[in-house]
Each structure stands twice: as structure tokens, then as C-alpha cells.
Amino acid sequence: MRHIFVTGGVVSSLGKGLTAASIGALLECWGLRVSLQKLDPYLNVDPGTMSPFQHGEVYVLDDGAETDLDLGHYERFTHARLTRRNSVSAGQIYETILRRERRGDFLGQTVQVIPHVTDEIKDRLHRAEEDGVDVAIVELGGTAGDMEGMPFLEALRQFALDVGRANVLFAHVALLPYLRMADEVKTKPAQQSVATLRALGIQPDLLLCRTEKHLTGEIRKKLSLFCNVPAAGVIQELDVTSIYAVPALLHGEGVDRFILDSFSLEAGPCDLSPWERVREMESRRRRQLAIALVGKYIDLQDAYKSVYEALEHGALACGCRLDVVRVDSEILTGDSVLGLLKDCAGILVPGGFGNRGIDGKLLAIRHARERGIPFLGICLGMQLAVVEFARHRAGLDGAHSTEFDPATPHPVIAPMEDQKNLANLGGSMRLGSYPCRIAPRSLLHRAYGRDEVRERHRHRYEFNGAYRERLLDSGLAIGGTHPGGLVEAVEVEDHPWFVGVQFHPEFQSKPHRPHPLFRDFVAAALRR
């Protein structure tokens, strides 16, 4: 198996994840099978307890692993099936080693970064290998020179030595800043970043230059000379208006051909048509549509990354351009709701935890329900839709989720363990993929066109089955249920398009295959 290690330099947030995903997409266009893995140097075991303000969204896999958002890029761009083996943190590494040390596995040895930490990292790389995979792409989080990333870089150096340098390619993503006052693209930061890697025993084979200006032949020669990278391996990775343009951009720069030649891989012919179709769909869009996303993490783009991408996929399928209006639920009041939402053809309330901004989300949901505005509620958004309906349609004054009001007289949303009449799925959270049986003639059935689907979950509160009949009598409809009886989706009978789902459909949407709920939500907003 061949391995590509993607590192980053100069600054963070350069798009290493998108670059890794795009390389994977390109190799698939050549008919190769790829796997992708993320190494994160932080000491958290996983991002599950990290604030979205700090780390962006928590991306959930089928097996329930809570992972970095870059794994979302991997799944959206490729056909790779990811599991918890594809997400490795320093926290996991040290936790494993310390547990083994306490057990006596090291037989009295002094436990050290080398060889014990590096060996565990290498073992995780091997464990993620799959039969039939031609190229494994591994992204290292952080920036070259970060203290916490040093053991990982040393492990990658050793890994290349172990499996043979001919089977490993190092791709380094570095910033080439443009100084406007000097009207010049500066190469020194990238040179210093590569020098840091070379001092650690790693020589990049590919240098992917993140830049807002085209690189001249002179700059490419300079980078090739001072970074000891072949001229064909100096790649300009320009800013683009759509992330789905990156595979074609890298193909135009010859990245895929360079990789195939470096590994002496026979493949092809290259079929870029899937990505060409996406770009064609983007260029054909004419009508503009405003959708409100009402949440409390709107100041950070990455906090709802998969939701934004799934909305974009739905817009592509419907041939329109989206203007996503980000509405801070913490400032939404009864006086401001009309003004902030008046021009929006659809309203989406995403998932989340904690009681900040809850009242604003309830106001937005009521606005959508009473005015016939298409609505999509995801996880917490679905739970609050039930709360709002219970209060203002079913006459259950004070109805709430016990997450926010443990003393509520009507706990229409409650923890799983409180629901004695329903199947106990165990644990404090429902994580990962679960089946959902879809009700006939429901909006869900119209969207999926199937009687049963599997969707990914991340929550610990559920629709309280004790209130099921009371809410159904008031006009709520159950769109989908878990085989054990848990409610997975709700709808409002006398509304054009109002859907709340307990799961996270955004995690299974791709540009080539938009999720049916996002597609139909955007389509409903267009009809309004």
C-alpha cells in the first residue's frame, strides 16, 4: 500500500483537510481505491467535549465515533467508509500507553516518546489500512513546528523508513502570503516551514502553495531550489469560490499525475466527469434564495460546517443560489423576529447543547409554523419544534425539555432512561447510525422514497412517548420511528413543509448525492 502524508505549514486553517479530500477524489477518478485518516495532536481523546467555538462541529461516523470536521470533507469528496480507526488524537495515544503501563505491559521499561509513543502512532496507521485500498491518505493536524505535533512527525519519518521511501509521499501545504504594499508574493515563510520539516528528517515531495495570486515561473523555480522539491511538485493552490473546484484545480496542476508517477502506479483513464457536473450545476444556477439558519454558533463558519454544505448540495439539486442568513438565536426576541426573518423563504434550526439561545430558537420555530414557512429542525431543532407545538398548539403550558427545565410540568422531551415504556438503547447518548422506519404518505417518505433508512445520531434527549397521543390529536404527525418505538421525525399536518428529525442528515450529504431532506427543504422554500 502507498501512503500520502499531508502536513501544513506557516499558519493553520490552510485547507489541509480539503486538499487531502481532493487528492482522494482525484485518485478515485483514476479508478483507485483510497482511505483517509486524520491525526490530531491535541490531548483531548476526541472533539466530543470541545466547544464548537474552538474546534468547529463534531462530525459523527456510522460507528458513533465523534471526530474532527475534516472527516466530513473526506466522506463528502470520496467513497471511503470511515470508522473510529480513521480518527486518531494524541489523547487516544497517551491514554492507551498509560493504561498499558499501569497494567505492566512494558515489563518495567522506562516509557518514552520514542519508541513507545511513536510506535503506537505507527500502529494506528497500520490499523486503519484496509484490504483493496491502493493509497492511504493521512492528514496531520496543526502546523509544522508545533510542539504537540513533534511525536507525530517523528512517527511519520519512521514509518517511511519502515515501509520504504518509495511507498510514501510527503505533501506539504504552505502559505505564500501576498504583500499588497510591495505587490509581491513572499516565499520565505514556506521555505522556513519546509526547513522545519527537513530538520526533523522529512523531505516534502509535493509543495502545495496556498496563494491568492498566480505563481510565476520564477517563484516556482525558487521554491523548487530552496525547498529541494522537484519543479513538477511545486503546486499552486489558488483561492476558489467553491471548494468543489479544488479537485479540478489540482488536476490542472498535475498533482494526480505526479502522485501516480511517484508511486509507479498504473491507473486510468481519468474520469473527472462527476466533478465537472458539479461545476456545471454551480454555473447554471440563476434564482437566489434566502434561508435562515438560527443558532448560537453562527460567528464561526466551521461550527455548522456540514449543515452549510448540505444546504449547498440541496441548492445545487434545485438549481438555485443560496443566501444563508445567519441569525443569532441569543439576540432573537419577539420584537426582532419579524425583522430578522421577514425575507427568508425557509428556516433551519440545527443541533446543539446547552440552554443559551433556546428562547430565540423557539420564536423562530413558531414564526415558521404559524406563517407556513418551510422549516427543517435537526436534533435539538426537532426537540424544540415539539416543545413549541406542545405549548402553542396542544395547550400544554410550560412544556419543555428536561434538559433546560427539570421541573417542567410537561416534559415532552426527556432523557432516554426516563422513558420506561420505550426500548432502552443504553448509554447516556445515542451515537452513530440507527434505523428509522418511515411513515407512509409522510414528507419523509416523499423525500426518501423508501420505507426504512439509516441516519446518524448524537444526542441524549428524546421525544417523550407519554405525550404522543396528546400531540397527535393536536395535529402533530410522526414521520419516522426507531424499531424500538423512539420517535425519529415529526411533521405538522396543516403546514406546507415542516419537518423535525432527531438525527443529523447533514452527515450523509454529498455534492453528487444531496441528502433528500435538504433537497426537499430547499425545493419547498423555492415554491413559497
- Asked if 378 and 349 touch (Cβ cutoff 8 Å), the reply is yes
Active site residue 282: no
Active site residue 253: no
| Separation CA 15–CA 8 (nearest Å) | 9
Active site residue 504: yes
| Separation CA 223–CA 419 (nearest Å) | 63
What is the helix, strand, coil percentage profile of the chain, to 5? 40, 25, 35
One DSSP character per residue, 347-373 reads EEE----SSTTHHHHHHHHHHHHHTT-
Phi, psi of 42 (to 5 degrees): -70, 160
Q: Is 161 helix (H, G, I), strand (E, B) or coil?
A: helix
- Asked if 92 and 100 touch (Cβ cutoff 8 Å), the reply is no
Buried b (16+ CB within 10 A) or exposed e, 238-252: eeeeebbbbbbebbe
Q: Is 294 helix (H, G, I), strand (E, B) or coil?
A: strand
Amino acid of residue 37: Q
- Asked if 27 and 135 touch (Cβ cutoff 8 Å), the reply is yes
The neighbouring-strand residues paired with 170 are: 5
- Asked if 267 and 32 touch (Cβ cutoff 8 Å), the reply is yes
Kindly name the residue from 172, 253, 506, 515 that is annotated as catalytic. 506
Kindly name the residue from 379, 459, 482, 491 that is annotated as catalytic. 379
Kindly name the residue from 313, 410, 457, 504 that is annotated as catalytic. 504
- Which sequence positions are flagged as catalytic? 379, 504, 506
